[in-house]
């Protein structure tokens, strides 16, 4: 048996060698999984990013002065994990200040539906996300997927929302310039690895996101201040006349730059889902209306340019009723003989029709096309319509007569503004444009700042004489005295046309009140079309739309520092040059009295009012021009304080 | 026992083979089926356009191996003893075949396979088995040719040299090391004096060192093993991924079928590194159970060896047990980064017909030996 026991000893030796190695393996497994497992699991997660996605951060949209209209923020989202999170009442107190939410609300989010996934904050800034994850709460997740890494913001909200457009929550362009210039704004997408967590939810690696490009900056020709002025005045008019909708387009005649494009009602680009489709429509380019009498200048310009009539010719206006082509044509005020300029001034339909008949369908159609009617302007906005201008061959005599005074055809507000800008620009039509330049993040210019000439519509002399006629419209005796601006010569024309309903006939009481014009007439800087749809209290273009034109022009001229011949006497808008703020203590009367804020910047004014328990409202931008209550008034708690700010002006 | 061969007791049908060993091997084979399906699913679809093709091949080898095992478990061990020289001659002949052009089938720069129509035979796996069968016969005859160990050492040493040379021509370093270790182990168990063992061990180690030094990729592997954090994209790629895969399983794993790195990240996930995937999907728990199965197999195998009435049976049982468990432990050591990387399958679990076939053949022989046990 010694052999067997020796054999047994040797077997035991080999067995224990194997056993020791097995124990070493077990120890190694323990260190790999239990001690370093988390680290290795992280590595595995970083490794297993087998998909890719194209990602880019959207560039900015700015106005012509560089003010931001749309921008993207780099963001993260924070959620509560479905499996790892364990509720603790102390978490809400930690998280609420970081997320900037109410404590009770955060507590509710953390507590409710345990074991379910729950968003805590969507698309918050990187700082907030970092601060939240630094709290060390187990089960809080920071998300970096396509929909969570950027947020589109529109600092101006409703201002120019139709032009700028909006994106959906995935930062995908949906409307406006955002959509039309998406290829630039979106930038060059970078391929980023898409990783999946254990629940197959996608996420991106932070290191990959650091290399993602920003899109190009699109600079619009819009001027936020003019846009704001136009929107304010149009809204006031809609309110005053209980109108359904309206639009204003301001074009710079020499360049075709669209300085303002307002469509009301409007919506907030930050929350497009809260609005109706009707509010999201950019009426200035998508809506046709019958331009009515505002077409007469183009008719006269065509007739003069083609030599069919001269300024000295006169026409008999049939004392208010003329039958032509089997249909009656009326004038609102009956006239006898009128010279051509007077036809414009008094807006006679009958004499316009007679000029149209002299001119003929072919030539009128040709000239209207030259002014830009019946074709898309090419301003590059989604949904722009062509307007309505039937082929000349199909015009029966009554159609020719109607089109002569702007009926039986359709125009957009933009087309009308472009037509007037053409007259203002000495007969040369510029292509309207909304985008001035596109500049990449590295400074390279993608789209240069170039005005495009579309062609000459009429000769310079004709444009000048039509301008003179249009000036007479705004003079006493004309139809648009309410469009007159002190100290500046204004050229313009009213228009009032019935609107067509769904049954394709005119609807009683549905009017489009139109005013179009430009100023200063001797050196036009602004061409403007104002359209108010379905006003209730009054419907004449000269009553409803002309004052809008005047008010926008007044504020606009001041803002643009366009010199007027005589300063208005009743209310000087001159603002003292910048004033430096004096310390509170030096103010006479102490802090209970309203200080004199005139000429101060908003920031300084706020400093002066610091410690006053009053309700401050400010209008406009720039420096304080007017204040309510007056300096020296005693301020009680919650006194309403109103400040009017205007841009700095030369005295 | 030392003088003459004893009359063998015949095997009776009523003698049951060791149930614990069957349980351990059965569990390993089932785990192997599970994880081979798991790890080949994508790879098979990519290479063959059929997700189940490799799995079905694996099932076929399990069935064939099972039949071989059953047949051998019915076979008396003294028949094997008599057939040992012929088996060895045959397997050595087969071992030469992969080196002949037109017959050999090479992948990853190694010619280890003989192409037999739809299947490839890996004679290296067969040699392990026949070497043990033959060496046990030689060592069991110790004493019959006079005292001393010269004859035994000479025969085993020569055999090792021949096999090693042939294997290194393929080259197959893993199997070489295993057979070298196996030879040493069997000599140790057979009672070779320590001085002999030390001398042979030194010679073997020197040969191994030379083999490493002569082949640049082996030098790189050893260097990579010694500094695991250097060059993670090059020579340490596989080991790195293996450690990440295994470690990310934590205690209970990410769940069966949920392995993230099996889809291309971990090379050879279905063969040599299947143990990492076991670790990732079932955690330290599942991996520990597999390790335990091999330990149980070793315990049962050594128990059979200790209790077997006959010298040849003792050595054969110990040798086969060592062959299986040493290979398993070496494979795990490589996967877990305790040993330098070398190609070696995990018995019963890894994808690969030859390995499965001859591993089950070993178990078949062990079963037959266990049926010959008698109460003493």
What pLDDT, in 10s, does the model give residues B74-128? 888 778 888 888 888 888 888 887 777 666 667 666 777 777 666 777 888 888 8
CA-nearest of B83, B79, B164 to B128 is B164
Burial of A403 (0-12, 13-18, 19+ CB in 10 A): buried
- 3-state SS assignment for residue A478: coil
Tell me the average pLDDT of chain A.
86
Burial of A312 (0-12, 13-18, 19+ CB in 10 A): exposed
Which of left, alpha, beta for A509 (phi over 0: left; psi -120 to 50: alpha)?
left
- pLDDT by residue for chain B (376 residues), tens only, comes to 344 444 455 555 456 788 898 999 999 999 999 999 888 877 776 667 677 888 888 999 999 999 999 998 888 877 888 888 888 888 888 888 777 766 666 766 677 777 766 677 788 888 888 899 888 888 888 766 666 778 888 888 888 888 888 888 777 778 888 888 888 888 888 888 888 888 888 888 888 888 788 777 777 777 777 776 655 555 567 777 788 888 787 888 777 777 767 766 677 778 888 898 888 888 889 999 999 999 999 999 998 888 888 888 888 999 999 999 999 999 999 888 888 777 788 999 998 888 898 899 999 999 888 888 764 3
Q: What are the tokens at A363?
A: 């030539």
Task: Say how far apart CA A190 and CA A224 lie, in whole Å.
Answer: 33
Query: Quick one: three-class SS letters along A545-586?
Result: CHHHHHHHHHHHHHHHCCCCCCCCCCCCCCCCCCCCCCCHHH
Of B295, B318, B337, the CB nearest to A11: B318
CA distance A132 to chain B (A): 26
What pLDDT, in 10s, does the model give residues A35-59? 777 777 777 766 666 667 788 889 9
The pLDDT > 70 percentage for chain A reads 91
Q: What are the tokens at B272?
A: 């040599």
Task: Say how far apart CA B133 and CA A304 lie, in whole Å.
Answer: 119
Residues 6 or more apart whose Cβ sits within 8 Å of residue A170: A146, A147
CA-nearest of B365, B296, B370, B372 to B129 is B365
Note whether A37 contacts B249, CB cutoff 8 Å. yes
User: At residue A238, what are phi and psi to the nearest 5 degrees?
Assistant: -60, -40
Residues 6 or more apart whose Cβ sits within 8 Å of residue A269: A70, A154, A157, A158, A161, A164, A165, A166
Most A CBs within 10 Å, among B6, B182, B248, to test the A interface:
B248
Note whether B302 contacts A44, CB cutoff 8 Å. no
Summarize the confidence of residues A226-241 as an average pLDDT.
Answer: 94
Note whether B250 contacts A7, CB cutoff 8 Å. no
Q: What are the tokens at A503?
A: 């049954």
- 3-state SS assignment for residue A542: helix
Residues 6 or more apart whose Cβ sits within 8 Å of residue B7: none
Of B249, B251, B329, the CB nearest to A18: B329
pLDDT at B339: 82
pLDDT at A577: 44
Quick one: closest CA in B to A13, which residue? B189
**What ipTM describes this predicted complex?**
0.87
pLDDT at A36: 78
Judged against a pLDDT cut of 50, whether residue A588 lies above it is answered with no
Of B185, B264, B284, the CB nearest to A14: B185
Which of A158-162, A218-222, A620-624, B45-49 shows the lowest mean pLDDT across its residues? B45-49
Task: Say how far apart CA A56 and CA A59 lie, in whole Å.
Answer: 9
What pLDDT, in 10s, does the model give residues A290-300? 999 999 999 99
How many beta-carbon pairs under 8 angstroms link A with B?
116
What pLDDT, in 10s, does the model give residues A431-443? 999 999 999 988 8
Burial of B363 (0-12, 13-18, 19+ CB in 10 A): buried
Answer yes or no: are the C-beta atoms of A558 and A573 closer than 8 Å: yes
How many other C-beta atoms can be found within 10 angstroms of the C-beta atom of residue B65? 23
pLDDT at B7: 47
Question: Which residues is A531 bridged to in the sheet?
Answer: A247, A514
Task: Say how far apart CA A403 and CA A370 lie, in whole Å.
Answer: 15
**What is the gyration radius of the CA atoms in chain B, in angstroms?**
21
What pLDDT, in 10s, does the model give residues B252-300? 877 777 776 776 667 777 888 889 888 888 888 999 999 999 999 999 9
Most B CBs within 10 Å, among A5, A6, A7, A49, to test the B interface:
A7
Judged against a pLDDT cut of 80, whether residue A337 lies above it is answered with yes
């Amino acid at each position: 048996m010694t052999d067997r026991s020796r054999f047994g000893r040797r077997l035991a030796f080999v067995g224990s060698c194997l056993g020791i190695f097995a124990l070493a393996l077990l120890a190694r497994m323990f260190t790999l999984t239990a001690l370093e497992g988390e680290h290795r699991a992280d590595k595995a997660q970083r490794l297993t990013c087998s998909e890719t996605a194209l990602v880019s951060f959207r560039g900015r949209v700015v106005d012509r002065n560089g003010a931001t209209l749309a921008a993207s923020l780099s963001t993260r989202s924070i959620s509560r994990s479905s499996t790892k999170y364990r509720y603790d009442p102390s978490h809400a107190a930690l998280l609420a200040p970081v997320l900037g939410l109410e404590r009770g609300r955060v507590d509710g989010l953390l507590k409710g539906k345990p074991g379910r996934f729950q968003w805590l904050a969507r698309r918050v800034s990187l700082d907030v996300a970092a601060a939240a994850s630094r709290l060390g709460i187990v089960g809080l997740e920071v998300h970096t997927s396509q929909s969570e890494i950027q947020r589109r913001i529109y600092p101006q909200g409703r201002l120019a929302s139709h032009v700028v457009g909006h994106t959906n929550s995935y930062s995908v362009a949906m409307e406006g310039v955002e959509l039309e210039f998406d290829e630039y704004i979106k930038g060059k997408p970078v391929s980023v690895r898409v990783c999946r967590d254990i629940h197959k939810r996608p996420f991106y690696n932070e290191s990959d996101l650091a290399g993602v490009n920003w899109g190009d900056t699109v600079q619009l020709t819009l001027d936020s201040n003019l846009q704001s002025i136009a929107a304010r005045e149009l809204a006031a008019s809609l309110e005053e006349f209980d109108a359904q909708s309206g639009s204003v387009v301001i074009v710079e005649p020499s360049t075709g730059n669209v300085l303002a494009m307002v469509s009301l009602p409007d919506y907030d680009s930050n929350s497009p889902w809260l609005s109706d489709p009707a509010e999201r429509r950019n009426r200035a380019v998508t809506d046709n209306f019958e331009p009515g009498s505002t077409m007469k200048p183009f008719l006269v310009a065509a007739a003069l340019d083609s030599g069919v009539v001269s300024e000295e010719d006169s026409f008999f206006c049939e004392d208010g009723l003329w039958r032509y082509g089997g249909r009656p044509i009326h004038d609102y005020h009956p006239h006898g003989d009128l010279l051509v300029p007077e036809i414009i001034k008094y807006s006679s339909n009958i004499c316009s029709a007679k000029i149209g008949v002299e001119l003929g369908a072919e030539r009128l159609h040709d000239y209207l096309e030259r002014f830009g009617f019946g074709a898309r302007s090419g301003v590059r906005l989604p949904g722009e319509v062509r307007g309505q201008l039937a082929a000349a061959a199909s015009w029966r005599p009554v159609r020719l007569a109607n089109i002569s005074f702007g009926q039986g055809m359709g125009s957009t507000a933009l087309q009308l503004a472009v037509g007037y800008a053409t007259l203002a620009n000495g007969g040369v039509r510029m292509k309207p444009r909304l985008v001035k330049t596109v500049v990449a993040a590295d400074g390279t210019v993608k789209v240069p700042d170039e005005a495009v000439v579309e062609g000459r519509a009429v000769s310079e002399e004709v444009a000048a004489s039509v301008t003179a006629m249009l000036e007479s419209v705004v003079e006493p005796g004309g139809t648009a005295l309410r469009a007159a601006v002190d100290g500046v010569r204004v050229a313009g024309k009213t228009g009032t046309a019935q609107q067509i309903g769904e049954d394709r006939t005119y609807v009683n009481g549905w009017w489009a009140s139109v005013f179009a014009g430009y100023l200063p007439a001797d050196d036009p800087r602004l061409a403007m079309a104002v359209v108010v749809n379905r006003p209730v209290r009054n419907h004449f273009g000269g009553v409803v739309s002309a004052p809008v034109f005047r008010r926008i022009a007044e504020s606009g001229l001041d803002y643009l520092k366009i010199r007027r011949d005589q300063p208005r006497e009743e209310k000087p808008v001159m603002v003292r040059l910048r004033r430096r703020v004096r310390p509170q203590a030096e103010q006479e009367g102490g802090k209970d009295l309203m200080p004199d804020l005139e000429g101060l910047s908003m920031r300084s004014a706020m400093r002066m009012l610091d410690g006053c328990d009053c309700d401050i409202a400010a209008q406009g931008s720039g420096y304080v021009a007017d204040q309510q209550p007056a300096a020296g008034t005693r301020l009680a708690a919650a006194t309403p304080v109103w400040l009017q700010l205007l841009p700095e002006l030369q005295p | 026992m030392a003088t003459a061969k004893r009359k063998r007791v015949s095997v009776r049908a009523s003698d049951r083979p060791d149930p614990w060993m069957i349980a351990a091997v059965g569990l390993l084979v089932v785990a192997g089926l599970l994880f081979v399906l798991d790890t080949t699913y994508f790879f098979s679809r990519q290479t063959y356009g059929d997700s189940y093709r490799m799995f079905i091949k694996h099932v076929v080898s399990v069935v064939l191996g099972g039949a071989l095992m059953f047949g051998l478990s019915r076979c008396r061990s003294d028949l094997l003893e008599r057939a040992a020289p012929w088996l060895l001659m045959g397997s050595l002949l087969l071992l030469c075949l992969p080196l002949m052009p037109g017959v050999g089938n090479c992948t990853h720069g190694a010619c280890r396979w003989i192409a037999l129509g739809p299947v490839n035979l890996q004679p290296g796996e067969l040699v392990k088995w026949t070497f043990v069968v033959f060496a046990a016969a030689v060592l069991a005859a110790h004493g019959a040719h006079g005292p001393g160990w010269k004859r035994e050492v000479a025969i085993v040493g020569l055999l090792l040299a021949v096999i090693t040379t042939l294997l290194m021509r393929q080259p197959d370093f893993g199997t070489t090391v295993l057979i070298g270790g196996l030879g040493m182990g069997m000599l140790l168990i057979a009672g070779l004096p320590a001085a002999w063992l030390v001398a042979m061990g030194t010679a073997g180690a020197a040969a191994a060192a030379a083999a490493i030094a002569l082949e640049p990729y082996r030098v790189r592997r050893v260097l990579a093993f010694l500094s695991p954090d250097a060059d993670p994209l090059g020579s340490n790629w596989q080991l790195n991924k293996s450690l990440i895969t295994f470690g990310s399983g934590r205690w209970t794993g990410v769940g069966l079928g949920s392995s993230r790195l099996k889809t291309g990240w971990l090379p050879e996930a279905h063969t040599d590194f299947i143990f990492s995937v076991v670790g990732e999907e079932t955690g330290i728990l599942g991996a520990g159970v597999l390790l335990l199965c091999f330990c149980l197999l070793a315990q049962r195998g050594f128990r059979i060896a200790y209790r077997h009435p006959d010298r040849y049976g003792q050595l054969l049982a110990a040798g086969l047990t060592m062959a299986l468990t040493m290979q398993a432990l070496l494979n795990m050591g490589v996967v877990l980064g305790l040993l330098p990387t070398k190609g070696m399958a995990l018995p019963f679990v890894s994808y690969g017909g030859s390995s499965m076939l001859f591993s089950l053949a070993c178990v078949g022989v062990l079963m037959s030996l266990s049926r010959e046990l008698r109460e003493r």
